[in-house]
Amino acid sequence: MPAEEGSSGSPLYQDRTRACSFGGDAERYDRSRPSYPPALIDLLMRAGVRDVLDVGCGTGIAARQLQSRGASVLGIEPDRRMAEVARRQGVDVELSSFEDWDAKGRQFDLVISGQAWHWVDPRSGAEQAARVLRPGGSFAAFWNSGKLDDVARRRADDVYERLAPGLDDYSVALGNSDPERFELTMDGLRAAGAFTEPQLLTFDWQARYSIAAWLDQLPTHSDHASLGELRLGQLLDALGEAFSEFDHLTVRFQTWAVVADRFA
């Protein structure tokens, strides 16, 4: 299944079952998903940014990074289970899809969305972002993609070929990026008529994982979770065996960010 198609072949943001699948194990999501590189946070927290709206905030991974820099962050999250984890960690969250959210006149310096904007209608989402941003405010949607080193990737490919053929060709959990989601985001911003020309930026960084920690994050990706419990369990067991002689895995991340400013 291509990354931007839902289970019925409709646009991914219309697949609400898949969009709200992450809360099934929200604690795992929070402990296993990567954060975001300091260089991206530096860009977001440029001078004057104080009030931030985090769209599809999940368990608050990005929100907490911005809070640590002094920002006041409000999260919008449609999944109650994800929101509960974020709230326990000090993030204020309102339950809603972004398109239907009532801002009640509130405005923000920055609207962000980490790993979530592809679940938002790109046109109506951009229009909503324009309504809630102060003139001169900024929008940023960003996604992580993490590649294993060459030896580990070849071993992983052998396992996927046997147990989940094709999944490793498009899953972002295995280092694939999705240019279509970047283009859809930029097209939505352009169509809203309220933003400067969007830019696509990349940030390169890396992280070291134990084998168990890397395997722990795979079920938090909707494309892996959709395999079903039996097939996913077989896949995880086989990957663990393939990596059994390794002490750790080094993952080379690339964070892609679509950024634009609201017209002053």
What is the pLDDT at residue 23? 64
CATH class of domain segment(s) 12-145+174-204+253-261: alpha beta
Sheet strand arrangement including 108-114: 92-95, 72-77, 51-55, 108-114, 133-148, 249-261, 199-209
Is the distance from CB of 108 to CB of 134 less than 8 angstroms? yes
What is the pLDDT at residue 8? 46
Q: For the chain, what are the domain ranges?
A: 12-145+174-204+253-261
- Other beta carbons within 10 angstroms of residue 258's beta carbon come to 23
What is the pLDDT at residue 7? 44
What is the pLDDT at residue 125? 98
What is the pLDDT at residue 21? 57
| Dihedral, 208, 255, 179, 146 alpha carbons, nearest 10 | 0
What are the structure tokens assigned to 82, written together? 């994800």
Is the distance from CB of 181 to CB of 143 less than 8 angstroms? yes
What is the rounded distance in angstroms from the CA atom of residue 168 to the CA atom of residue 151? Answer: 15
37-74 confidence digits (pLDDT tens):
999 999 999 888 999 999 999 999 999 999 999 999 99
What is the pLDDT at residue 48? 86
- Stretches in the chain below the pLDDT threshold 70: 1-10, 12-23
What is the rounded distance in angstroms from the CA atom of residue 205 to the CA atom of residue 253? Answer: 5
